[in-house]
Amino acid sequence: MGQIFKIETQLLLGRLLTRSGDQAWDFVVPFALLHVFPGKLQIAAFYYLIIKIGIFLLTTWVGKWIDSNQRRKVVKIGVCVQFFAVLGGIVCFYLLDRSVHNKTIFLEGAVVVALFAFLSFFGVLASLGSLITDISVGNDLAPAMIPADRLTQFNSWLRRIDLGTEVGAPIVAGILFALESPNIHLLGLVIVALWNLVSFVPEYLLLLNVIQESGLHIKETGTAKRWKDLFHFSFKEAISRPIFWLIFSYALLWLSVLSPHGVLLAGYLKDRMKMPEAEIGLFRGLGAVFGLISTVTFPYLVKKMGLIESSKLHLAFQGFILTVGISAFVVEVSGSVYIFLTCILLSRIGLYGFSNGEFELRQRLIPERKRGELNSLSYLTTTLATLVLFAASSLLSSTEDFKYLVFASLAAVLFANVVFFMWAKGNKV
């Protein structure tokens, strides 16, 4: 038991270090872009669009590559790619800032375009490195090293770390980013980048130490693949796997604007409902707090009812409470917006509870030699759902039409209930 506890502690500590740095870096990047290109929000939007498209195109390749290589190599490449991507990013920001604000350095606009292209490239690399380590730690090392009866508790701690850093890291990063120096331009960005870079070192050492000390057997890798085979993806083959419908039910939940962290809902609350920024910020912060509640309710119900039944109950609760909230949204009487927002917050308990269940079901049901490929399929479907959502939002002619996205979001959540309940009938854990 002592050895298992040590393994869990090292995995969780590594997660805490890298997630705090990642969250801080992700938070300040759009501010840095607006500093370099003041008043040009579309450039920041274009940057993130490039990253989403890059991840969508390369996710399948990453999954198959993970299955074709041993764990030490996967961890090494994943962490090193993130390290050099952040390092390259800060260099690009420095040169961009010099190019745009100091006309004596670079006069050609083509140089700025080239630097932005490199910055976007490093952004894609950073996301790919994060994807590799996420799958490696959560979907391969954890189920391989941690006994099945401790997975639920371990995953709950993973969720607490993710939500805790999601709230805390941006606050610290915001304070650091505000620091200024006449000698070092973008001082705050440099400090946050150093924070992120330094966090990769202990994470790398911890993960390698876990693999070495655990006595974990050599991974049975998939058959050796040529580079072009790694990029091959068959949708027909994907949906033929029973695990696909579990993954699909979770991806449907990403087709939703009903999130405290969603930029679309925040824009609607500000533009249409005239809510002050302080209230919107409070609403966002409470979203993570309510998500943390699921790390208590989910493991408790797993002990009482089992993994699948706990997942079903949390997903059904999300669907029910959102139905209540959207009913208030439709009525539009005095105070109804707060009922709507309260229901969204409560629905986070169901959402994150089901997310914990779906994550653990993948840990238990996906065979070792397919963990990279099938878990990357989960990332692929959620990324696709995000792209579909933003494409749909771009078609809206006015803020008034946001209500159609709200109704579509509820439909997606209810459909996820149908898909998961049908999948659960034929699967026992």
CA distance 293 to 331: 29
Q: Whole-model pTM?
A: 0.82
Using the predicted structure, report yes or no on whether residue 297 has a pLDDT greater than 90.
yes
SS3 84: helix
* pLDDT tens-digit map of 144-182: 888 888 899 999 998 888 888 877 887 888 888 888 766
Q: Alpha carbon 130 to chain centroid distance?
A: 9
- Residues 197, 85: Cα–Cα separation, whole Å: 10
Q: What is the pLDDT of residues 71-88, one digit of tens each?
A: 888 999 999 999 999 999
Domains and CATH numbers, the chain: 1-226 (1.20.1250.20), 234-429 (1.20.1250.20)
| Residue 387 φ/ψ, nearest 5 degrees | -65, -40
273: confidence class by pLDDT, cuts 50, 70, 90: confident
Q: Lowest-confidence range among 30-34, 277-281, 301-305?
A: 277-281
Q: Degrees (nearest 5) of the Cα angle 397, 351, 322?
A: 55
Give 169 or 424, the one with higher predicted confidence: 424
Instruction: Single out the residue of 78, 97, 87 nearest to residue 31, CA to CA.
Output: 97
Residues 156, 299 contacting (CB under 8 angstroms): yes
Q: What integer is the mean pLDDT of 49-57? A: 86
Backbone angles phi, psi at 396, to 5 degrees: -70, 135
